[in-house]
Structure 1
Amino acid sequence: MIKAVIVEDDYRIAGIHEEFLKKASDIAVVGKALNGKEAITLIKAKEADLVLLDIYMPDILGTDMIQELRRINPNLDFIMVSAATETDIVSEVIRNGIFDYIIKPVKMERFIETIERYKQMKEKLDVKKEVDQSFLDDYFGYKSDSKPQEKQTPKGIDPLTLEKVIGIINTIDGGITAEEMGAKIGASRTTARRYLEYLISVGNISAELEYGVVGRPERRYYVK
């Protein structure tokens, strides 16, 4: 069971947050504090895992409260629930190792999502001796797109035709000219050359000049 403390100077908001917490399983509110002095007294008296902490308190800023409460219980985790959006305040609490920061007015779905994430992290850390990269990715919110992005072909290059050209050139040992490729794919020499030159640009094939008995030299394309 996770033991939570709510530190919020507005008793009505504190009550709302308590009701939100009741919607999560295996978490209990062991106390509520309306100011910093009450919070210090509460943390000294109660065993707690998590503090839901506001920034603007009547007697002390939440940024300073984190350090004060951790002197009493170094193992406390913090979720900030505040209307404060100043970057210097947010930067300071992040440096102090908070688990999350929720901006007021709080949406219940966002609140519960954070609590569930915290519970999962806590449960895993309690049973693990070591962690792997996937656990840390989840904890720090890193999301990788495991599905590779399809490479975009330039204008004038049809993916299906390109696939056909690649299939043909892969089956020919002695190379192929643009004219020969055009005949095989049912296209003009100019069109075939466009596809072959594209494959050179992306490094799939190479070309060599072939000198005939008469006329201009012709490019012959080879698989690398």
Structure 2
Amino acid sequence: MIKVMIVEDDPMVAEFNKCYLELVEGFTLQALVHSADEAFSVLDQTEIDLIMLDIFMPGMNGLDFLINLRQQGKSADVIVISAACDNNHIKKALQFGAVDYIIKPFQFERLNSALLGYKGLVGLMEQDVLNQVELDQCILYKEQSVAAKLPKGVDRNTLNVIWEKIQELGQSPFSTEEIANQIGVSRVSMRKYLEFLKQIGSLKLELIYGTVGRPIYKYRCIHTMNNFIHRYL
């Protein structure tokens, strides 16, 4: 298992990152901290393979943390997850060894790709002799064939049936009740599947205004040819 530490000062974002991490097979969260000082304390006591690092934090910011990390000779890899999108921050993060840079806000698909790519690279580095094709696939983050972990209560076969029905609907909006009736499952169960599909970026939730009555929320497929969903099927 790849041991991960999340360094994020916003408690809500930290929790989102934690939940996203738990969806990806092969990673385990060792620590969740809210400052650079806390992170260095953890590193002094615990073996960490990968750090998910924010830049804008009170006290020492993420870039200074990354610089200090390298100056101390610590080998933990870093994926930066930050709202900083200017070339100065990005260039410095990459110069000091960040293996990836994800700009907030982001979809789960982007983080999942980064983690799967990193896991592939870790596995490749365990080999004595490296193959160029395999190395290119990991470094360039090509499509991974690894089946992603589903959250508790989401069944792969049921998800496949629901996704096929959604593809039939194309770009037409639908409510939880409407598709639950078509599939033959309860609204409570269906809501869990639809929220998962929304979380990974396959669906979006819209407020639909009718001619009479209150507006209602309906889901809409973002892209019926979204290949990312097939990692879960």
Which bracket does the TM-score occupy, shorter chain normalised?
A: 0.5 to 0.7
Query: Which residue of the partner structure matches residue 173 of structure 1?
Result: none
1:11-63 Cα shifts (integer Å, max 9, x gaps): 11111101001011121110011111111111111110000001111011211
Query: Which residue of the partner structure matches residue 130 of structure 2?
Result: 131
1:107-126 Cα shifts (integer Å, max 9, x gaps): 11111111111111111212
Query: Which residue of the partner structure matches residue 78 of structure 1?
Result: 78
Structure 2 CA distance for partners of 1:86 and 1:142, relative to 1, 3 Å: same
Structure 2 CA distance for partners of 1:72 and 1:47, relative to 1, 3 Å: farther
User: TM-score with structure 1 length normalisation?
Assistant: 0.60
Q: Do the aligned partners of 1:5 and 1:52 also contact (CA within 8 Å) in 2?
A: yes
Query: Which residue of the partner structure matches residue 7 of structure 2?
Result: 7
Q: Give the CA RMSD over aligned residues.
A: 1.7
1:80-133 Cα shifts (integer Å, max 9, x gaps): 00000111111111111211111101211111111111111111212x112232
Q: Do the aligned partners of 1:70 and 1:76 also contact (CA within 8 Å) in 2?
A: no
Query: Which residue of the partner structure matches residue 148 of structure 1?
Result: none
Q: Do the aligned partners of 2:54 and 2:82 also contact (CA within 8 Å) in 1?
A: yes
Query: Which residue of the partner structure matches residue 33 of structure 2?
Result: 33
- Cα displacement (A) at 1:72: 4.7
Instruction: Give the secondary-structure state (helix, strand or coil) at the position aligned to 2:29.
Output: strand
Q: Which of the two has higher C-alpha Rg?
A: 1
- Mapping of residues 99-178 of structure 1, within 5 Å: 99-126=99-126, 128-141=127-140
Instruction: Give the secondary-structure state (helix, strand or coil) at the position aligned to 1:58.
Output: coil
Point out where structure 1 has 5 or more consecutive residues left out of the alignment.
144-224
Q: Do the aligned partners of 1:2 and 1:27 also contact (CA within 8 Å) in 2?
A: yes
Q: Do the aligned partners of 1:43 and 1:69 also contact (CA within 8 Å) in 2?
A: no
Larger RCO, structures 1/2 (Cα 8 Å, 6+ apart): 2
Q: Do the aligned partners of 2:70 and 2:96 also contact (CA within 8 Å) in 1?
A: no
